[in-house]
Amino acid sequence: MPKEPWEKEHLEPSDKFIAIPIKDGVIFKRIKIDLEKEYSELKKKVRARFEEEGIDEEEVDKAVEWAREN
């Protein structure tokens, strides 16, 4: 992205944004995301699903090992 829009919109290199294609170009939309919060919420959902399915840590370790080998 050219420097001018970064300066005009006061964007920082650490800012997160998505590119939305449109007919004559692209719209960039800045997004604010708390990665730690998102990760924590996802981890809770995964843990709950594993408990629901009866999957224990040993099975996860075996699956990871298998995936790394294949």
11 pLDDT above the threshold of 90: no
User: What span, in angstroms and rounded, lies between the C-alpha atoms of 9 and 19?
Assistant: 15
Per-residue pLDDT of 25-56, as tens digits, reads: 999 888 888 889 999 999 999 999 999 999 99
Classify residue 52 by burial, with Cβ atoms within 10 Å: 0-12, 13-18, 19+: exposed
The C-alpha atoms of residue 59 and residue 53 are separated, in whole angstroms, by 12
Structure tokens at 10: 């006061």
Sign of CA dihedral 8, 10, 13, 15: negative
